Amino acid sequence: MLAAGETRKFGIPRGSALVVQWNLARPLSANERPMGEELRGSAVVRASGGTIDQRASTRVGDVAYFAPLITNASDQLLHVTVNAGLEGAVDCGCAIRPGARRVFIGYYRLYQNSTVLAKDSTGHSAIFRDLGPKVVSADGTAGLRFETKDLR
């Protein structure tokens, strides 16, 4: 297991090949269910000498992923749905406590019109829309802040 940003070096005999596989460790909700979508990838590395750099990515094939980091600046518990209103909507199965900052709820498919919806127990909600072009960080994270005044 490697932490985000951590690197590991392996020696490979010249002329050989190594299959490198990675799986994202998904965060768990309060009821121990994995949040977000499974991310995994692999690469065949052929040793021809020198150093070969291989990285895990938020893009798998032609599919991009993003990680909403939820800040709850409201006074209510918030339930979050990613890509709400779209065919691939996913309820994170989590409840973000008031005052929580940049809570990682997993990675989700990123579309041009991706959304993140937060709903409180009274049925009030707030939504971030069209996130596709706004997610620009290399790690696919997007900080989203929900405040009481946003919930309608």
Read off the pLDDT of residues 53-89 as tens digits, 9 standing for 90 and up.
777 788 888 899 999 999 999 999 999 999 999 998 9
As a whole number of angstroms, the distance between CA 55 and CA 7 comes to 9
Helix (H, G, I), strand (E, B) or coil at 134: helix
Burial of 73 (0-12, 13-18, 19+ CB in 10 A): middle
Condensed to tens digits (0 to 9), the pLDDT of residues 31-46 reads 899 999 999 988 888 8
Higher pLDDT, residue 152 or 17: 152
Radius of gyration of the chain (CA): 18
Question: Mean of the pLDDT values across residues 3-10?
Answer: 79
Condensed to tens digits (0 to 9), the pLDDT of residues 99-133 reads 999 999 999 999 999 999 999 999 999 999 999 99
